[in-house]
Structure 1
Amino acid sequence: MARKILLAFIILFGLYYIFFFSHIDQRLTLIFKIIPMILIIFMAATTKAQSIKKYQLFIIIGLVFCMIGDYTLQWFLIGLTSFLIGHIFYIFAFSSTSEQPVPKWAKGLLLLYGAIMAIWIASTVFKSGETVLTVAVLAYMSIILTMGWTAIRTRSTFAIIGAILFIVSDSYLAVNKFVMPLPFSHEVIMLTYYCAQLLIALSIVQYSEIRSKVVQ
């Protein structure tokens, strides 16, 4: 019951920030932005998971760094670095599992997508003379695609869909910021982002159930 109430508050605050952003006092926007993340972290930390403490700990640390990234994204490179660290901890979590191999077609799609985005976005940033930012963007792309790659290993649909949504959210953000303005950018970026983080947090329960079945 308590989990359902917490989940309802996460959805409520998330939707409020996404669709009523313009009505929030500018001094409070960053606070409202991280409230859903604070609740998601609390949910992940209070989840009772059997025999996957390392997975749970890595996910929680990843969520914390992503929340810091939310708050510091106004200083883009600082926020990007914090998100990158968060993804590294997600990779640690997903890599600690080995429930299934990554199919060749999934590897191929991720590599192809990464190459297309790198050429499109990084080349645009490089042409503007931002060499350091170009390197940072390329590094971030590599890490987030690796995160998606390793998520498949978990057999958790929540982890896999969450990772894919994160890639979608960051791709939309990158194109909107560096290439061209996209419609409903705030709504699309934040909706996919919150859904991604929530699903990754919920994967703690799902992966715990997967491990329990394997042990039995």
Structure 2
Amino acid sequence: MTCPESGMPISYRLLAPLTALCALIAILSQSGLWLPREWGYVAKPLTTLLIIAHAMQRGRATPQLRRWVLAGLWFSLVGDIALMWPKEGFLPGLVAFLIAHLCYLWAFTRLQGLAAWPWPFVFYALLAGGILSGLWSGVPEALRVPVLAYVLCLSAMGAQAAVVGWRARGTAEARRHAVLALGGLLFVISDAFLATNKFAGPLPLASVWVLSTYWAAQWCIASGLARSRSAS
């Protein structure tokens, strides 16, 4: 079914507002603002599923890229579900997202060689090192190795996304790959909020900052895939 004026599939047109609505419900419920907290147990995974649906309608001309971005999104969904139980699910969620970042990193190297432009890796290393050094004393000893491994993977993913965005300047893919680079940066910002809230003390309205930047990041990464003509 298509929109008569534009020929764009209606289901495709509705994905963005539906995703935004589900994200808003999840954020308000997880933050204890106006909505019952239980609503978040449905709205949180549903938001990521809608982003997966967005990605599935894209990227058919680049199957390897599409496959690994989708793998990253599915592992992110596992992490989302695990982190709904902040204590028991933190380590499984951390591992799920670590794998997601490795999937994204591999996906982005299908577009540009690893560290083909080295400066983003320098920037993200300094950024991650600064954040981690400020939080390190609050990280339990049992979590220090997994947290360090996670930060390395996250930083490499964000840096490689920036490489893709920078190297696409002046090409037909420039806008789309700039959005992908933004997604990598937003993911780092989201996890910085999450880590600050967990290891440095409660962050006011933490769910608002963590989840809004997280889903914006995932949407941007999914939007790095070219939209398929057969999307419906």
* TM-score range normalised by the length of the shorter chain: 0.7 to 0.9
Partner of 1:165: 186
> How far, CA to CA, are the matches of 2:155 and 2:115 in structure 1?
16
Tell me, which stretches of 5 or more residues in structure 1 are unaligned?
209-216
Decide whether the 8 Å contact of 1:102 with 1:149 is kept in 2.
no
Partner of 2:164: 154
Q: Which has the higher helix share?
A: 1
Equivalent position amino acid for 1:68 in 2? V
Decide whether the 8 Å contact of 1:122 with 1:138 is kept in 2.
no
> How far, CA to CA, are the matches of 1:30 and 1:154 in structure 2?
35
User: For 1:12-161, what aligned pairs fall within 5 Å after superposition?
Assistant: 12-21=21-30, 22=32, 23-47=34-58, 49-50=60-61, 52-73=62-83, 74=85, 75-98=89-112, 103-125=117-139, 130-155=140-165, 156-161=177-182
Partner of 1:182: 203
- TM-score by length of structure 2 reads 0.80
Deviation at 1:168, TM superposition (A): 0.2
Decide whether the 8 Å contact of 1:17 with 1:33 is kept in 2.
yes
Partner of 1:3: 12
The DSSP-based 3-state class of the residue aligned with 2:226 is helix
Equivalent position amino acid for 2:155 in 1? L
Equivalent position amino acid for 2:162 in 1? I
Deviation at 1:27, TM superposition (A): 3.9
Equivalent position amino acid for 2:103 in 1? F
Between stretches 89-98 and 109-118, larger displacement belongs to 109-118
The DSSP-based 3-state class of the residue aligned with 1:180 is coil
> How far, CA to CA, are the matches of 2:65 and 2:135 in structure 1?
32
Deviation at 1:30, TM superposition (A): 1.9
Equivalent position amino acid for 2:189 in 1? V
Decide whether the 8 Å contact of 2:182 with 2:217 is kept in 1.
yes
Work out the percentage of aligned pairs sharing the same amino acid: 29
Change (3 A) 1:87 1:99: closer
TM-superposition CA deviations, 1:161-183 (whole Å, max 9, x none)? 00100000000110111012222
Decide whether the 8 Å contact of 1:58 with 1:90 is kept in 2.
yes
Deviation at 1:185, TM superposition (A): 1.0
Change (3 A) 1:99 1:133: closer
Q: How many correspondences in the alignment?
A: 202
RMSD of equivalent CA atoms: 2.0
Decide whether the 8 Å contact of 1:18 with 1:191 is kept in 2.
yes
Change (3 A) 1:66 1:100: closer
- TM-score by length of structure 1 reads 0.86
> How far, CA to CA, are the matches of 2:114 and 2:131 in structure 1?
27
TM-superposition CA deviations, 1:79-121 (whole Å, max 9, x none)? 1110111111000100111289654442322111121122222
